[in-house]
Structure 1
Amino acid sequence: MADKALIEKAKKIFEYFLSKKGSRKTPERFSVIDELYSLPEDEHMDVEGLFLSMRNKGYTISRATIYNTLDLLVESGLAVKHQFKDKVALYEQALTYKHHDHHVCNQCRKIREFSDPKINEIKETVGAEFNSSIKSHSLVLYGDCLIKDCENKLDLV
């Protein structure tokens, strides 16, 4: 179930962002917010997935509009863009975003999110070593699911 208050907050922020930028406030752009913010918080979606989902719900929107709107959402801080190995860009909502890292299965391509405080300790250590205030990081671990858990089981017999 989508959090309507969260969607409305995202729309207000986006409207303000578009006004400051001098960009058009089209219904199609706001429908992308509806769709992205209707996903579960930990779900990642690509442009094609958004396009098909929106078309199935009766929206008339082009892929180009989705691409352009997602770029604006990333720029405004309302979406986060991820690029995993050989996958197309994936997006997730950012208003309730808490930093996390990712594990991607080489077989089934399932993306799992995780957080570990030791990673922040490493970030602080590296920052001190290079006399740098590290603002962000990205960590993606690629591995194989345990065979019994993998959604793309290999026939090993």
Structure 2
Amino acid sequence: MADKSLIEKAKKIFENYLLRQGSRKTPERFSVIDELYALPQDEHIDVEGLFLLMRNKGYTISRATIYNTLDLLVECGLAVKHQFKDKVALYEQALTYKHHDHYVCNQCRKIKEFSDERINLIKDAIGIEFESAITSHSLVLYGDCKVTDCENLHLTI
């Protein structure tokens, strides 16, 4: 079940962002927030998946509007965009985003999120070595999971 207060908070942030940018506040743009934030927090979705989800719910929205709205959501910090290997971009909600890294199965394409403090230790050590304040990182591990008949699952991408 979607957290209504989270969705309302995201909409308020987006509304303020659009006002600052001088952009239009359209119902279609806000419907993208509704549907993105209705997904489980660890869900990753592409434009086509979101388009089909919204069409099946009766929305009349174009792919272009979804693309453009997701770009705006990334710009204002309400969505995170990921590019795994040579696949299409996937998006996830970012309002309550806690940094995490990803494991992607080469066969079924299932994405699993994980956090490991040791990665931050490595990041800090590299920052010291390069005399740099490292502000962010992205780590994606690819492997072959041990799920029986994995290659026939095609769960996420």
| TM-score (normalised: structure 1) | 0.95
Deviation of residue 87 (structure 1)?
1.2
Q: 1:100-148: per-residue Cα shift (whole Å, max 9, x none)? A: 0000000000000000000000000000111110110000000000143
Give, as a single letter, the amino acid of the residue that structure 2 aligns with 1:111: I
Which residue of 2 is the match for residue 137 of structure 1? 137
Which residue of 2 is the match for residue 29 of structure 1? 29
Unaligned runs of 5+ in 2: none
Following superposition, which runs of at least 4 residues in structure 1 exceed 6 angstroms of deviation?
none
Give, as a single letter, the amino acid of the residue that structure 2 aligns with 1:120: N
CA–CA separation in structure 2 for the residues paired with 1:26 and 1:17: 13
Deviation of residue 149 (structure 1)?
7.6
Equivalences for 1:121-136 in 2 at 5 Å?
Answer: 121-136=121-136
* Greater length-normalized contact order (CA 8 Å, ≥ 6 residues apart): 2
CA–CA separation in structure 1 for the residues paired with 2:65 and 2:43: 21
Which residue of 1 is the match for residue 109 of structure 2? 109
Which residue of 2 is the match for residue 70 of structure 1? 70
CA–CA separation in structure 2 for the residues paired with 1:147 and 1:52: 28
Which residue of 2 is the match for residue 59 of structure 1? 59
Identity among equivalent positions (%) equals 82
CA–CA separation in structure 1 for the residues paired with 2:3 and 2:33: 12
- Structure 2 residue matching 1:127: 3-state secondary structure: helix
CA change 1:74–1:111 in 2 (3 A) is: same
- Structure 1 residue matching 2:152: 3-state secondary structure: coil
- Structure 1 residue matching 2:99: 3-state secondary structure: coil
| TM-score (normalised: structure 2) | 0.95
**Please, what is the CA RMSD of the aligned residues?**
1.1
Between the two proteins, the alignment pairs up a number of residues equal to 153
Give, as a single letter, the amino acid of the residue that structure 1 aligns with 2:110: K
Unaligned runs of 5+ in 1: none
